[in-house]
Chains A and B, each alone.
Chain A
Amino acid sequence: MNSPDLPHYLACAAVLFVLGLVGFLARRNLILMFLSVELMVQGVALNFVAFARFRGNLDGQSFVLFMLTVAACEAALALALILALYRTQASLDVSLWQNLREDDLDATEDDEPLPGIMPEAPLPSLPVAGIAPARPEESNRV
């Protein structure tokens, strides 16, 4: 073997697919989850082209063109949906939509505080200092 063979390309595609899987499962940003799905699509496209090359058959490459078409449609629709979701919650966090989960699943709760976001300190009370401003004399003194 003096050049990479079909299984090497398939292994590379598998790594791309699995990294996309990890990103989809672990990340919470809607856009990043969608990018991870696109990463999985890239892995599958690599599979198709590798089979096309090593079987000497162009149908795999044709299929990848259709995958490109569907991916473009999917991106347009998904981004429109993400925008619609963002308008209602003003956040891309997918956990805000966790009331759609199954009944027997526990809710995700964020226990640890984010760094750099301090709880709001109470407003300082200014000490009495400086020259008292002139006030109009009150008419009747006790």
Chain B
Amino acid sequence: MTAGMFAITEAGAYPWSWWVLGPISVGMLGIYQLLPRPEGTSVRTGGFLAVFGLAGLMALVLGGVLLSVETVLFCLFSGVAVSGAALLVTLANPARAALAFTVVVLGVAGLFLLLAAPFLMGANIIVYAGAIVVTFLFVLMLAQQQLPNDADSRSREPFLACLAGGSALLLILLALGEDAGKLESYQEVREGRALEATRSPVAPVRRAAESDLRLDMSGVPALPADNTAFLGANLYGRHLIAVELAGVLLVVATLGAIAVAQRSGTGEAL
């Protein structure tokens, strides 16, 4: 409790308030500098500002958290994800931006793992990094344009976009910082009242869950380690119709994509 003493003065109060305005504006200024424009971007200034803003925001947000393995992993994965996102937004070459999106997906997958969702981590990597980004790269190959061109080397109102993004982030973080301490949900979880992870529709799984339920060091009940089995029971128990509808949606989207991508007139598929 020594390092985080100033942060946890009241129960559940989080340290950030209007202070986040500083790193947000510095980071958005960096993004503004880095956005592509015809007269050329100042990569050094913009990159420095963006990294500085990200580091400041992390320091502010994580101010009250003690150093532990989970904290270090959180910093690592969220830093990778946010840096990849900044690269995706600012890189002029769209193929490189698609690869930066893969970096974001990998970072978010790491955060999923920290949040006890190993199945979603795998699904996220397979679907996004494996399928969607490859499709993007394929379309980029079909619609290749040489740099510089109007689409990639110009930005539409970069200053207003960064202003809008910065204000949105400021408002979200302020609301989070104010209301986070009042949220009762995970206070309840701490006290072990909302153990809905065990509320599985399949009886044997429920019994296994109740016996396997563990509390981590801060008293939060860990989700059961066999997350995939529980997720499957949840999906096919409570959301069975939605799963079927998702299958129908996939088929319809495939047919629609083929119909749209077909060249009109000749009837010849792409």
Contacts and interface: CB of A to CB of B under 8 A. Distances in A.
Interface of A: 1-12, 14-23, 25-32, 34-36, 38-39, 42, 45-46, 49-59, 61-62, 64-66, 68-77, 79-84, 86-87, 91-95, 108, 110, 112-117
B8 A1 contact: yes
A68 B166 CA distance: 28
A64 B128 CA distance: 13
B186 A55 contact: yes
A81 B256 CA distance: 10
B148 A115 contact: yes
B223 interface: yes
B225 interface: no
Contacts of A66: 239, 242, 246
Interface centre among B143, B161, B183, B270 (most CB of A within 10 A): B143
B71 A4 contact: yes
A68 B249 CA distance: 12
B115 A50 contact: yes
B115 A49 contact: yes
A11 B173 CA distance: 6
Given A12-B111, A72-B132, A114-B153, A31 B165 contact: no
Contacts of B270: 83
A19 B78 CA distance: 13
Nearest to B153: A114
Given A8-B65, A14-B176, A22-B162, A31 B189 contact: no
The secondary structure that dominates the B interface is: helix
Contacts of B82: 12, 15-16, 19
Q: Is the interface of A mostly helix, strand, loop or mixed?
A: helix
B134 to A, nearest CB: 10
Interface in B238-270: 238-239, 242, 246, 249-250, 252-254, 256-258, 260-261, 263, 270
A69 B94 contact: no
For this complex, into which size category does the number of interface residues on chain B fall? 35 or more
A47 to B, nearest CB: 11
B116 A112 contact: no
A18 B98 CA distance: 18
A3 B235 CA distance: 29
A116 B161 CA distance: 27
B92 to A, nearest CB: 9
A49 B231 CA distance: 12
Nearest to A63: B239
Q: Which of A22, A65, A83 has the most CB of B within 10 A?
A: A22
Interface in B213-245: 216-218, 220-221, 223, 227, 230-231, 234-235, 238-239, 242
B187 to A, nearest CB: 10
Contacts of A108: 156
A56 B196 contact: yes
A42 B127 CA distance: 12
Given A6-B186, A19-B89, A86-B143, A58 B223 contact: yes
B156 A25 contact: yes
Contacts of B46: none
Interface string B45-89: 000000000000100011011101011001000100110011011
Given A16-B81, A65-B120, A75 B165 contact: no
A51 to B, nearest CB: 8
A57 B156 contact: no
Interface string B28-50: 10010001011110000000000
Contacts of B66: 1-2
B235 A65 contact: yes
A56 B78 contact: no
Contact of A73 (B143, B150, B253): B253
B144 to A, nearest CB: 10
